[in-house]
Amino acid sequence: MKVLVTGGVRSGKSRHAEALLVGAGAVTYVAPGPAADDADWADRIAAHQATRPASWTTVETHDLAAALALACDGAVIVDCLGTWLTAVIDERELWDAPSAQVTAVVRELVAEATAALARRSADTVLVTNEVGLGVVPAHRSGRLFRDLLGTVNQELAAACDEVHLVIAGRVLKL
């Protein structure tokens, strides 16, 4: 089963995603976001790590396609696509690049990840943020991120068997 779990910040997405794999045995937890660059971010990462079973293996990487391919034998959880997108744009210094250039890079990486996901036979859960329900961001970087993550979410959702929307800890299967 391949599941995309989406929802707002602090909606319960990660808790739900982890619960989907609690009985899966060996699980690879892919953490594709940026490194802890401040105390609040470090605390948030530590809180997530504390909830994972000791038997789970954590892989920190921005290479989403490679992580999905390497963990081909067991279940995988990727948490989360929003932090992955931020890390990708950061490491390539694309925040001020023309939108078409950034979109081309992200689409290529998503195509690679989608192909890796399609080759997986083990349970896979992808966690992402739902960014399309709020106001239009005032700054270019916010609009760029919102639009790109919307595209990432659509393309990976199309490659999944199910999409779960989490709101206030409640799950809706779409």
pLDDT (tens digit per residue) in 104-128: 999 999 999 999 999 999 999 999 9
Task: Look up 139 and say whether it is catalytic.
Answer: no
Contact status, residue 164 vs residue 171, Cβ threshold 8 Å:
yes
Is residue 12 left, alpha or beta, with left meaning phi > 0 and alpha meaning psi from -120 to 50?
left
The C-alpha atoms of residue 69 and residue 86 are separated, in whole angstroms, by: 21
The pLDDT of residue 16: 97
Residue whose token pair is 């270019």: 140
The pLDDT of residue 38: 75
Structure tokens at 116: 């890796």
Which residue in 48, 62, 139, 164 is the catalytic one? 48
Q: Report pTM.
A: 0.92
Which domains can be identified in the chain, with CATH numbers?
2-173 (3.40.50.300)
Q: Are strands 162-167 and 170-173 parallel, antiparallel or unpaired?
A: antiparallel
